[in-house]
Amino acid sequence: MSRIERLPPETGRDFPPESNSDGRVILLWLLVLALVGFGLVMVYSASAVMTLRKYSDSLYFLKRQVLFAAVGVAVAWGASRVPYPWYRFLSRWILGLAFALLVLVLVPGVGREFNAARRWLPLGPLSFQPSEIVKVVWIVYLSAYLAEKREVLQRFRQGLFPVVLLFGVLAGLLLMEPDFGAVCILAFVTAVMLLAGGIPWRHLMLFALPAFLGFYLAVVRVPYRLERITAFTNPWTDPLDSGYHLIQSWIAVGSGGLWGKGLGASQQKLFYLPEPFTDFVFAVLGEELGFVGIAVLVALFFVFFWKALNVAQDAPEPFGSFLGLGLAFLIPLQAWINMGVVLGLLPTKGLTLPFISYGGSSFLANCLAVGILLNIARRSDMRAA
């Protein structure tokens, strides 16, 4: 019997009061603030030369990222003060709103297109990527579904089938943008949550073959994805085009050695490595801070993952456990995939490195996820006591 199954039944409003003394809350805050600080330093280091040439301002992206960080920390604090059970009662409404945003971004003239992808909605001088917030919203909805349907999760028609049907619609909208990376993240997190909720393995296996077939078609029938797979297996077959990103990334990380070249001393960021302050900021980090810097960053994400799992395990009721579990996987999984791509262990997915890469939408979505985790942790303290 799983930890989640052993939790006592929900009792309506019987949630423990909040506590400010939980050390996990402080530790999670410290981890996130450390990652944010790490990210601000790397965004400046990776972007200063480029923005000085393009905008005559070496602080251009740093100033924007500082703004994102300030708003993000405020979002995390605000979410940590909102009782997380409220999200359960609003889950259907916010999922419907998220679906509407995903549809809206596909409307010509409304959604903003960049690099052959239509993923953004314009917000004045800025833009917003709905798929980032959808990741958090989907986890909230799925947590509510699993908590409400605990008695019928063993039955295929009442348990798994409705989730798979809804997820298929969600994945279809994301693939139309296209945002293949978001689909991969959500598919993995969804599978973990379903198994934790007690969905039988054999039920999930019924969808394994169609899922792999869909994955195959999504890759083979789209030329640029096929090129990414080819570049991943052997980037030297096309070193000036599809394999260029990975080769430059290897040069950056490999030249960093144990201690790195020193902060600000990267050579690959000088117009060799594409997107050095977004998707491939980890390569610049490896070049400047070396294996030691990489190890510190990996350790921060592992500690975050471990403490978030503890929060999920000690949540006072099933909804909180499912919600904490999904959010515990969401942020570190994106980080490890990004690192895997930079190191050539995974094909390019277009995923940013949480809290480190430049970008507003992903930053705010991750801060929202952290805020919800913090609220679960606060409410778990009195239960443990």
Residues whose CB is less than 8 angstroms from the CB of residue 304 and which lie 6 or more positions away in sequence, other chains included: 28, 31, 32, 35, 331, 332
pLDDT surpassing 70 at residue 10: no
Measure the CA–CA gap between 280 and 341, rounded to whole angstroms.
Answer: 9
Within-domain flag for 8: no
Q: 4 in a domain, yes or no? A: no
**Burial of 376 per CB tally in 10 Å (0-12, 13-18, 19+):** buried
* Residue 199: band (very low, low, confident or very high) from pLDDT cuts 50, 70, 90: confident
pLDDT exceeds cutoff 60 at 18: no
The model's pLDDT over 21-35, given as tens digits with 9 standing for 90+, comes to: 468 899 999 999 999
pLDDT-derived band at 383, boundaries 50, 70, 90: low
Site of tokens 């930890």? 3
Q: Share the mean pLDDT of the chain.
A: 87
Q: Of all residues in the chain, what percent carry a pLDDT higher than 70?
A: 91
* Residue found by looking up tokens 């500082």 in the block: 66
Q: What is the pLDDT of residues 275-301, one digit of tens each?
A: 899 999 999 999 999 999 999 999 999
Question: Quick one: what percent of the chain has pLDDT higher than 90?
Answer: 63
pLDDT band at 3 (very low <50, low <70, confident <90, very high): very low
Mean pLDDT value of segment 74-86: 94
What residues have CB less than 8 Å from 239, skipping those under 6 apart?
247
Total-model pTM:
0.90
Indicate the number of domains in the chain. 1
| Highest-pLDDT range among 111-120, 143-152, 210-219, 323-332 | 323-332
- In whole angstroms, what is the distance from residue 363 CA to residue 258 CA? 29
Query: How far apart are alpha carbons 62 and 68 in whole angstroms?
Result: 10
Tens of pLDDT, residue by residue over 107-158, are 988 888 877 788 889 887 788 899 999 999 999 999 999 999 887 777 877 8
Give the pLDDT confidence score for residue 381 in this predicted structure: 59
Whole domain around residue 295: which residue ranges?
27-384
CA angle in degrees (0–180, nearest 5) for 52-251-253 = 85
Q: Is pLDDT of 79 > 50?
A: yes
Which of 203, 179, 197 shows the shortest CA–CA distance to 334? Answer: 179
Distance CA 51, CA 278 (A): 13
pLDDT at 41 over 90: yes
User: Do the domain assignments include residue 19?
Assistant: no
Segments of the chain assigned E as strands? 112-114, 117-123, 126-128
Lowest mean pLDDT among 135-139, 263-267, 326-330, 378-382: 378-382
* Domain membership flag for residue 196: yes
CA distances from 192 to 106, 204, 206, 248, 287 (A): 29, 11, 16, 34, 34
Residues 362-378, mean pLDDT to the nearest whole number:
96
**Minimal CA–CA distance to 138: which of 107, 163, 103?**
163
Least confident of 42-56, 128-142, 369-383: 369-383
Give 43's pLDDT tier (boundaries 50, 70, 90): very high
**Which of 1-5, 62-66, 69-73, 179-183 comes out lowest in average pLDDT?**
1-5
Assess whether pLDDT exceeds 80 at residue 12: no
The pLDDT value recorded for residue 16 is 46
- CB distance 238 to 231 below 8 Å: yes
> Average pLDDT of 245-274?
93
Instruction: Provide the 3-class DSSP secondary structure of residue 128.
Output: strand
Residue 123 located in a structural domain = yes
- Region 352-372: mean pLDDT is 96
The stretches of 105-243 forming alpha helices (DSSP H) are 130-148, 161-176, 180-196, 201-205, 208-220, 223-233
Contact criterion met (CB below 8 Å) for 334 and 351 = yes
Does a structural domain hold residue 5?
A: no
Q: In this predicted model, what pLDDT tens digit does every residue of 301-322 receive, in sequence order?
A: 999 999 999 999 999 899 999 9
Contacts of 307 (CB under 8 A, 6+ apart): 24, 27, 28, 31
Has residue 302 been placed in a domain? yes
231-254 confidence digits (pLDDT tens)? 777 888 888 877 888 999 999 999
Please indicate, yes or no, if residue 296 is contained in any of the structural domains.
yes
